[in-house]
């Protein structure tokens, strides 16, 4: 459905993006992660036709996506882009905001409103909404344009936990009930590992690793890739990158002393000192106390 081919974008004398290539099939979820300034948002805007690439091309459903230098109105009619800086017109009725954008029948539009959980908000003014409600309405405004690809730039960054869970359910329903493919940018590992079919990691405008989320999590190509997807430890002299879940209490192994216990709801995280190294591991048990000695075994799939 989507083919991104050798995309490059310059700013002054430096490259924001360089040689970005990947493909997306119909219904596939792709996530993009990377440090601030790695080019994630620029890549989404190029795919959407909102930013002109200096190299390469984007092919969508067999046709090249034109950039803003090539057409009067920027963007592609079947590709919707939700910026993290989305805006709604002040002091408008919500139903007015949606009506102006709607290209669907009344029944189809009502299904969108139900999926976005905004049925009860239609007769409110935009100034009376919470941040999470505004974001769901902004998403619905895009969906009533009948896109087949949805691009989301940090959709969870400004949401509390309740609105975040609502937005996650919305995105799942958009895929399952409407058959819309999605590409999502996020810096939170928990938001992408369970959602994405394919994951790309960017650094300085280039892809450093891509593949399934599980493979990248368990087999990061370097410490940068490991750090993007969660807590990790590098074992000098072994080239092993391990996660807290790889560390277990054992009858024999590395001796360590407990420095701190952290309650995480369903389990505990123990911070321990093993020689000069500080590590952490997870456990269901609350029996360990500060200054207790334990022996640790490292089990890794690397």
Token pair of 289 as six digits:
């106390």
What integer pLDDT is reported at residue 215 of this predicted model? 95
- In angstroms, the CA 255 to CA 241 distance is 19
Over 70: is that where the pLDDT of 15 sits?
Answer: yes
Long-range contacts of 256-259 (CB under 8 A, 24+ apart): 256/293, 256/294, 256/295, 256/296, 257/291, 257/292, 257/293, 257/294, 258/288, 258/289, 258/290, 258/291, 258/292, 258/293, 258/294, 259/290
Name which of 251, 240, 247 is nearest 271 in CA terms. 247
The pLDDT of residue 236 is above 80: no
Of residues 21 and 11, more confidently modeled: 21
Give the model confidence (pLDDT) of 99-120 as tens digits.
888 888 888 889 989 989 889 9
- pLDDT at 269 exceeding the cut of 90: yes
Mapping DSSP to helix (H, G, I), strand (E, B) and coil, where does residue 191 land?
Answer: helix
Q: Rounded to an integer, what distance in angstroms lies between the CA atom of residue 83 and that of residue 81?
A: 6
* pLDDT tens, position by position, 182-199: 999 998 898 899 899 999
Q: List domains and CATH numbers for the chain.
A: 2-223 (3.40.50.300), 235-298 (2.40.50.140)
Provide the Cα torsion 166, 169, 175, 181; round to 10°. 60
């Amino acid at each position: 459905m989507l083919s991104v081919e050798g995309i490059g974008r310059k700013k002054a004398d430096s490259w924001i993006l360089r040689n970005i290539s990947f493909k997306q099939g119909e219904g596939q979820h792709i996530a993009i992660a990377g440090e601030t300034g790695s080019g994630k948002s620029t890549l989404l805007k190029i795919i959407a036709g909102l930013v002109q690439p200096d190299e390469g091309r984007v092919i969508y459903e067999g046709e090249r996506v034109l950039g803003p230098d090539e057409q009067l109105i920027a963007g592609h009619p079947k590709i919707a882009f939700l910026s993290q800086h989305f805006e709604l017109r002040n002091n408008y009725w919500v139903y007015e905001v949606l009506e102006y954008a709607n290209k669907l029948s009344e029944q189809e539009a009502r299904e969108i409103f139900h999926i976005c959980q905004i049925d009860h908000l239609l007769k409110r003014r935009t100034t009376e909404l919470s941040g999470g409600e505004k974001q769901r309405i902004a998403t619905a405004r895009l969906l009533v344009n009948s896109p087949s690809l949805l691009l989301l730039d940090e959709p969870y960054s400004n949401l509390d936990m309740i609105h975040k869970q609502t937005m996650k359910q919305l995105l799942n329903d958009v895929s399952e009930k409407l058959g819309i493919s999605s590409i999502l940018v996020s810096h939170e590992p928990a938001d992408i590992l369970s959602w994405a079919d394919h994951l790309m990691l960017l650094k300085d405008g280039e892809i450093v690793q891509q593949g399934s989320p599980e493979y990248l999590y368990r087999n990061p190509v370097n410490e940068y890739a490991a750090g993007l997807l969660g807590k990790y430890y590098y074992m000098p002299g072994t080239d092993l990158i391990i996660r807290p879940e790889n560390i277990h209490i054992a009858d024999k192994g590395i001796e360590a002393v407990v420095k701190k216990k952290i309650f995480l709801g369903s389990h505990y995280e123990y911070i321990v000192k093993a020689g000069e190294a500080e590590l952490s591991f997870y456990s269901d048990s609350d029996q360990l106390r500060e200054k207790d000695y334990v022996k640790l075994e490292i089990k890794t799939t690397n």
